[in-house]
Amino acid sequence: LADPAFVGTYGINYGRIADNIPSPDEVVTLLRSAKIRNVRIYDADHSVLTAFSGTGFKLVIGLPNGFLKDMSSNASNAMSWVKDNVQKFMPGICGVAIGNEVLGGSDVELYGALLGAAKNIHSALNQLGLSDAVQVSTAHSQAVFSNSYPPSSCVFAENIAQYMKPLLQFFWEAGSPFCLNAYPFLDYMNDPASIDINYALFQKTKGIFDPKTELHYDNMLDAQIDAAYAALEDAGFDKMEVIVTETGWASKGDGNEAAATPENARTYNFNLRKRLAKKKGTPRRPKNIVKAYIFAIFNENLKPGPTSERNFGLFKPDGSISYDVGYKGLKSSSADSVVMSLKVNMYFPFNLFASHYFPYRQYLELLVLNAVFAHLH
């Protein structure tokens, strides 16, 4: 979330719908090694909050969708929740995400409860003297938009606008950003015949041209962010910042998810890190540095839905890396062995590095990228 709640430009989502992932204490060790300080979880599990307490991480916790009605209708319960799950673990908690992808979701009854829950949680934080340190937000999927291509044509969907505008007004007054879950992977999967996969993966491509703004986009994530900015402008909130609270690429999928491969997942996440390291904005908002939380730390083997839903993790259940984007895991992996081999053979001829799995150029890029992130953090 916005400074001081968000440090640097890069964060990660810590999903835990799994029965085979490391303990929260091990996750703290893993993320320290990766130099990631911004972490977002989807609930307020005390074992996680205890592990992160006093570690220096910037932690955004979640108020699950199932709590929204109660928190909206009962300010006393909102106060109790904040005391038990925020105040008790301060400092370190920098944000509370009120639900996740509520507007545009299937449970329409929650639409009206979202704003009330946000107001009551914020009021409780304010009464406890925590509202300056803990930001209140909610993350939206792209289902809240209509006409998002080209980016300048994007507006909020008609059935969403009546709930969105008062919510935006509240968040604007509270100093919160617009939080977007943006997935080029999903857009590409929905229309692979029309979308160049290189455009989705931050690879070299002709990109797209927005005739209204005369802006050029060389990657889809920037276009998705600027579509959100266009919708905010249309709604009268042209000064609100957009932050990406989820983005990632699946490394495995079903038969109809051919783009979900380890190679594509590595390419997307590696290029995303490079793009964020540049600390630059989008074509529409060049001064607003893009900030993003990657999804996710681990594959989550108990998640429902298609196979891709269970395969967004940068790390395997044992803590080793799923594919190399410049992080070290809790355990050595085949990718680590490749890196070590490269280091041992650094003075050998170039053709020794001409590996399909780990080209020399990408190895050098990783070294530079890690140096940059060490400086940022």
Contact status, residue 172 vs residue 166, Cβ threshold 8 Å: no
Q: Give the pLDDT means over successive 10-residue stretches in the chain (377 positions).
A: 68 97 96 93 98 96 98 98 98 96 96 98 98 96 94 97 97 97 97 96 97 98 98 97 98 97 98 95 97 97 97 93 89 47 37 41 58 54
Which segments within 206-361 are labelled E, that is strand?
208-210, 215-217, 242-247, 292-294
Looking at the DSSP bridge assignments, the partners of residue 179 are: 139, 243
Point out the catalytic residue in the list 214, 246, 263, 300.
246
Asked if residue 91 has a cis previous peptide bond (ω within 30° of 0), the answer is yes
Identify the residue whose tokens are 């079903």: 254
The predicted pLDDT at position 58 comes to 95
0.95 surpassed by pTM: no
Q: Smallest Cα–Cα separation from 286: which of 200, 234, 237, 225? A: 225
**Amino acid letter, 317:** P
DSSP line for 136-163: EEEEE-GGGEE--SSGGG-EE-HHHHHH
Point out the catalytic residue in the list 101, 109, 214, 300.
101
The predicted pLDDT at position 365 comes to 61
Contact status, residue 12 vs residue 39, Cβ threshold 8 Å: yes
The predicted pLDDT at position 327 comes to 87
Contact status, residue 210 vs residue 151, Cβ threshold 8 Å: yes
The predicted pLDDT at position 341 comes to 38
For this structure, is 233 an active site residue? no
Which tokens is 230 given? 């266009």
The predicted pLDDT at position 374 comes to 54
The predicted pLDDT at position 109 comes to 93
For this structure, is 309 an active site residue? no
The predicted pLDDT at position 375 comes to 54
Looking at the DSSP bridge assignments, the partners of residue 98 are: 63
Please state the φ and ψ torsions of residue 6, each to the nearest 5 degrees.
Answer: -125, 120
